[in-house]
Amino acid sequence: MRPRTPSPPRPWPPGRPGARASRIDGAGAMEDPAPNPGRRRAAGAFLALCAAGLAAAAPVLLPAADRAWHLRAAADDPEALSALRLPGIADAERIGAGLDAAVAAGDDDLARSFLTLAEARGVPVSPERRARVEALAADAPRRALAEAATGFVSGEGAGPAGLAGAVAGDLVGYGDLRDLWREGGRLSRGESYDPLLLGLAAAGLALTGATVLSLGSSVPVHAGTTTLKLAARTGKLSRPLAARLTRAAAASVDREALGLAAAAAGRLDLTALRRGTVGVLRPGPFREIRAVGEQSARIQARLGTRGTLQALSVAENADDLRRVARLSEGMGGRTRAVLALLGRGALVLGSGLLAVLQGLWLGLAWFLGAALFCRRAGTALGRLIWPRRPRDHRARAPVAA
């Protein structure tokens, strides 16, 4: 049996234009076709273009991806979230503007908070601004008595003492009696009334007594609901929070029992009024108001009444208020200035969530592109260093039968 003679290789696919056939040398080894110089130059240019694109995109995409990663990790930590967002916000211009606005509003506590934040971040504050803050603090005792009296009578305080007077009026029952008589009378006459003020006034009177079913009667909770009423009256509640509390208050008030309570309010019979308000509130719908009131009392212990009103102006639910309380534990005296600069952005990702996701996806796309480029560049470099060896297709000797 004679050995088979190898046939010359045919181009594959047959008839393909530009196909290059391999050839066999004299020893029977198949040699790869010579590389096309034009094709090699095109591949090199493509790799160079990819490298330039990755290098140009890295300074833009990688820092954004790193920031997005840290923001996502700090989503449940208000202190860490604020620390990440403050560098782009807390500059000398914004801190100075915040100081001026606090002094103009007579809020020396907020002004001191801005000074504390400026010192913590190393932002210079002009001596003139510091002098205005000191003058505002020195003038506070002179205004305190008149503001406290106005707050007690009207329920609207212009300063810390006025706010304290409004809270004191509700704690003894006078402010709640006034609001229940006014809003309850409007309801009974079919006039426009404020359901949130009405529900909070009824709750306040019940808390002034012994208990509202199982809702509790502690002074801190009462102070929290009183602060809610003060925020509602002065327009310091955020729109989403005001809408939630208004719905809860409207659902929690029993109109029939409210009529009896309003009649007692008209007779100025505080004892009968307290007994009557027990049946005015339905415990189920009132739980949300109570939760917000409890968190408000917790914040008030740390930030004061004005700080609580500021928190209520940015929070949208009880969970946001819990985050404010956590923020105050970490930020201390800087909390009010941080809330003034960042708003709700100090508490949640909010509208920045889309930017965070975009940064993460773009960073992932860059790393994927870099991995593919490295793979292709490594293959090309390896072929330059270690060229392909000819494949051995020599005929084998037949095995003797």
Q: Report pLDDT digits (tens) over 38-73.
A: 776 777 777 778 778 878 877 777 777 777 777 777
Task: Write phi, then psi, for 281 (nearest 5 degrees).
Answer: -95, 135
Amino acid at 169: G
Q: What angle do CA 254, 255, 261 make, to 5 degrees?
A: 90
**Is the pLDDT confidence value at 326 over 80?**
yes
Q: Which of the four pLDDT bands, split at 50, 70 and 90, describes residue 210?
A: very low
Contacts of 223 (CB under 8 A, 6+ apart): 167, 171, 296, 297, 300
Question: By percentage, how much of the chain surpasses pLDDT 90?
Answer: 14
Cα 163 to the center of its chain, rounded Å: 28
Interatomic CA distance for residues 351 and 366, integer angstroms: 24
Of 295 and 144, more confident: 295
Q: What angle do CA 273, 247, 199 make, to 5 degrees?
A: 15
The pLDDT assigned to 325 comes to 92
Instruction: Please give the order of strands across the beta sheet that includes 29-31.
Output: 23-24, 29-31, 391-392
The pLDDT assigned to 314 comes to 92
For the question of whether the overall pTM of this predicted structure is more than 0.85, the answer is: no
Q: Report pLDDT digits (tens) over 164-173.
A: 666 666 666 6
Q: Report pLDDT digits (tens) over 229-288.
A: 888 888 889 999 999 988 888 787 777 766 666 666 656 555 655 565 566 677 777 788
Interatomic CA distance for residues 167 and 223, integer angstroms: 7
